[in-house]
Amino acid sequence: MAKFVLVPEARADLLSILEYIAVDSIDSALKVHERFTEVFNILGENPDLGHYRDDLTAKPVRFFPVYSYLVIYLADTSPVQIVRVLGGAQDVEAILN
């Protein structure tokens, strides 16, 4: 059984990130994709690794950094649900609430 699932919004976020990076370097985009997949699997196996950010949202989501991005996920689901993948420069609070 899969250890994680990307909800449609997270899948769109990831695709947007990879397309942006691929404009400059397809190799870099592939490496970033590989790292995200690795982190998603790690979070699926160890959902308590991330941390809550009460300053950003009251939702029961955890945050885990990958490069300059935040993987936002629900740890109490099986499989772990990756709900967003957002850039650090984005207004995370506004997007999540």
The pTM assigned to this predicted structure is 0.93
Q: Given pLDDT bands bounded at 50, 70 and 90, which one contains residue 1?
A: low
8 A C-beta contact, residue 18 and residue 32: yes
- The residue extents of the domains of the chain are 4-96
Which pLDDT score, from 0 to 100, does residue 94 have? 94
State the pLDDT at residue 50.
95
Q: Which CATH architecture has domain 4-96?
A: 2-Layer Sandwich (3.30)
- 97 vs 18: CA distance, rounded Å: 25
Q: What is the pLDDT of residues 39-88, one digit of tens each?
A: 999 999 999 999 999 999 999 999 999 999 999 999 999 999 999 999 98
pLDDT tens string 25-37: 999 999 999 999 9
